[in-house]
Amino acid sequence: MKYGILIAVLAVSLLVAGCVEQPKETQQGVEEIRIGVVAPLTGGASTTGTDMWQAAVLAADEINAQGGVLVNGTYLKVKLFKGDTETSREGGVKVVTKLITNDEVDFLIGGFSSGITYADQVVAAEHKVPFIITGASSPIITRRDDIDTSYFFHHCPTTDDYPDSTLLFVDEIVKPLIDERYNFPENRTLRLGVIYQDSKYGEGVYDGIKKAIEEHNLNMEIVSAEKFKMSETDFRTPLTVMKAANPDVVYPAAFLNEQALIVSQGRRDVGLDTIYLSVECNDDTDYYTGVEKWGEYSIQESRFGPYVIPAGPISSAVVKFKADFENKWGAPPSMMGASTYEGVYIAAEAIKNLGGTLDKEEIRASLAELEIPQIIEVMQNGVITFSPDYRESKFDLYMEQLIWNETVGETRPKIVWPDSVKETDFVLPDWYKPGGP
């Protein structure tokens, strides 16, 4: 008897699922551009995922408000499909398959968390659906060789890119100031401490640091490297060990909660009074609240943040995007939202050049050759274009220094590097203690 119910349930549920999920498509012909947004809307990373989805909706609404994307004299509307990965591999694979086979999307945009993207991109590669990755930071995504990666376009900096810019800044600005104040010889090697998350992200940044030092032949050495478990809350012991190694600068590769604790525990509890660097994902309102005054004078690498507007050609676009986003969703946008927003525009631009077809191979070719002006994030040479080798767009990352703001009772960032968007000079604080000889 019990198997009777089993069949009934099996059949009914599948039919229900089948009916609900079947795309209700009647007419043929191109009338809209279908974009699947792959993002974690539930689970540990849902704050970021929700932001990505909201930014994509904003971009689509803007495009549709102007009638759509003009292709061959007719306007195509942009239609978005929600793809919740549930912050799990199973969820990611299921939802990417659903977007491709049921919703028949022309593009995938988003992708957050490298571990999940590794699994779900296999489905996209198999169906040859162009995927603009705007969240996951592992360079492997467009470099792995077990699948055809030619349909993957990376539109966010990778874990190789963060340390590259950050360490160039340290070499160019911070090191000379330290050497000067403490009368160190100019050829003195800068002592770098690295504390990184035990994950793809943390390890990627650590590898990126080593690569950057080697590639640019920087006069730096890693004097201490500590690893911590994801969601760790107590960094006092590794920081105490690090302090004993006398670093000049400390580079944490951490998420927001961890970064705030590393800096505050390092400064307050351990007395590791040094310049803390930070990876871009921490440029978020919650970080400035969480790190309190301990974040003062620390460095934040960034490409889009809640409290800065880079000078130059894109500043009015940034102001407008922030205002529109806040009007629509009642909260400020975050960095992953910004690149996802651009991702929708990139998709629209790629279609424009095609003259009416939505053939996936043609879309891929169009994306590969795409060259459009930067939108709300500063790009190298002012254009968004994907590199021919691994299809990565190149951002001009900037450095912010956190300065205490008495009126808000928190620190606020000021851009200190590079010169093209600089607001103020980098300051080496009085309480700064250099490392050993």
Partner 1 sequence: MDLGVFIQILVWGIYAGCIYILLAIGLNLIFGVMKVVNFAHGELLMLGAYATFWIYTFSGLNPYLVIPLAMIILAIVGVFIERLCFRPIMGTGKLNEIFLSLGLIYLFQNLAAVFWTTDSRSIHSPYSDVSITLGSINLPVDYIIIIVITAICLIALQLFMKKATLGRAMRATSQNREAATLMGINVERMDMLSFALGAAFAATAGSLCLITGQMVNPYVGSIPAIEAFAVVIIGGLGSIPGAIIAGLTLGIAENIVPLFMQYSVGLLGLEMSFSAWKDTIAFIILIIVLVIRPTGIFGEKEE
Partner 2 sequence: MKLNRLNIKTGIDIVTLILAFLLPLILEVNQYLLTVLILMLVFTMYSSAWNLLATSGQGSLGHAAFFGIGGYVSAIISNSFGLPVIVTIVIGGFFAAVIGVLIGLTCVRLKAWFLAMVTFGFAIIVQTVTVELSGLTGGWDGIPAKKLVPVTITNHVMYEYYIILLIAVVVIVIIYLIMKSKMGLALEAIRENELEAKVMGINVTVYKLKAFAASAFFTGIAGALEIHHFGYVTPEVYGIDISFWPIIYSVSGGLYTIGGPILGTVVITAIWEVLRSFGMTYGRFILIGLILILIVIFLPKGLISIPEKIRSIFLKN
Query: What is the contact surface with partner 1 in residues (CB under 8 A)?
Result: 42, 44, 46-47, 198, 225-229, 231-234, 236-238, 240-241, 244, 256-257, 260-261, 264-265, 268-271, 286, 289-290, 292-293
Residues 73-112 that bind partner 2 (CB under 8 A): 82, 84, 88-90, 93-95, 97-98, 100-102
Question: Is residue 20 near partner 2 by the rule CB under 8 A?
Answer: yes
Which residue number, 336 or 370, has a Cβ lying nearer to partner 2? Answer: 336
On the question of a cis peptide bond just before residue 157, with omega within 30 degrees of 0, the verdict is: no
Tell me the window of 119-127, 213-221, 285-293, 425-433 that interacts with partner 2 (CB under 8 A): 119-127
- H helix or E strand, kind and range, residue 319: helix 315-329
Q: Which does 14 bind (CB under 5 to 8 A by kind): partner 2, partner 1, none?
A: partner 2
Cβ(63)–Cβ(348) under 8 Å? yes
Question: Is residue 150 near partner 2 by the rule CB under 8 A?
Answer: no
Q: Least Å distance between CB 305 and partner 1? A: 16
Which two structure tokens, joined as six digits, stand for 245? Answer: 């190694």
Which residues make beta-bridge pairs with 384? 372
Q: Which does 268 bind (CB under 5 to 8 A by kind): partner 1, partner 2, none?
A: partner 1
Q: What is the SS3 string spanning 181-240? A: HCCCCCCCCEEEEEEEECCHHHHHHHHHHHHHHHHCCCCEEEEEEEEECCCCCCCHHHHH
Report helix, strand or coil for 152.
strand
Which residue number, 3 or 419, has a Cβ lying nearer to partner 2? Answer: 3
Which residue number, 90 or 371, has a Cβ lying nearer to partner 2? Answer: 90
Query: Taken in order 149, 151, 157, 161, is the CA torsion positive or negative?
Result: positive
Question: Is residue 147 near partner 2 by the rule CB under 8 A?
Answer: yes
Residues 271-310 that bind partner 2 (CB under 8 A): none
Q: Which does 228 bind (CB under 5 to 8 A by kind): partner 1, partner 2, none?
A: partner 1
What is the pattern of x (binds partner 2, CB under 8 A) and - over residues 193-232? Answer: -----xxx--x-----------------------------
Tell me the window of 40-48, 343-351, 372-380, 412-420 that interacts with partner 2 (CB under 8 A): 40-48
Which residues make beta-bridge pairs with 77? 32
Q: Which of 77, 79, 144, 360 binds partner 2 (CB under 8 A)?
A: 144
- Distance between CA atoms of 269 and 7, rounded to whole angstroms? 62
Tell me the window of 115-123, 322-330, 362-370, 418-426 that interacts with partner 2 (CB under 8 A): 115-123
Cβ(41)–Cβ(340) under 8 Å? no
Question: Is residue 7 near partner 2 by the rule CB under 8 A?
Answer: yes
Report helix, strand or coil for 156.
coil
List all residues 6 or more positions away from 271 whose beta carbon is below 8 Å from its beta carbon. Answer: 243
Question: Is residue 25 near partner 2 by the rule CB under 8 A?
Answer: no
> Pairing state of beta strands 220-228 and 299-302?
unpaired
Q: Least Å distance between CB 113 and partner 1? A: 14
- Distance between CA atoms of 79 and 35, rounded to whole angstroms? 6
- Distance between CA atoms of 184 and 246, rounded to whole angstroms? 15
Q: Which does 177 bind (CB under 5 to 8 A by kind): partner 1, partner 2, none?
A: none
Question: Is residue 122 near partner 2 by the rule CB under 8 A?
Answer: yes
Which residue number, 143 or 412, has a Cβ lying nearer to partner 2? Answer: 143
DSSP label at residue 107: E
Q: Which does 13 bind (CB under 5 to 8 A by kind): partner 1, partner 2, none?
A: partner 2
- Distance between CA atoms of 299 and 333, rounded to whole angstroms? 21
Question: Is residue 14 near partner 2 by the rule CB under 8 A?
Answer: yes
Which residue number, 158 or 401, has a Cβ lying nearer to partner 2? Answer: 158
Nearest to 212 by CA among 154, 158, 283: 158
- Distance between CA atoms of 226 and 252, rounded to whole angstroms? 9
Q: Which does 97 bind (CB under 5 to 8 A by kind): partner 1, partner 2, none?
A: partner 2
Q: Least Å distance between CB 77 and partner 1? A: 31
- Distance between CA atoms of 288 and 402, rounded to whole angstroms? 9
- Distance between CA atoms of 356 and 31, rounded to whole angstroms? 10
- Distance between CA atoms of 118 and 146, rounded to whole angstroms? 11
- Given the rule CB under 8 A, which residues bind partner 2? 1-7, 9-11, 13-18, 20-21, 41-42, 46, 82, 84, 88-90, 93-95, 97-98, 100-102, 115-116, 118-119, 122-123, 126, 138, 140, 144, 146-147, 198-200, 203
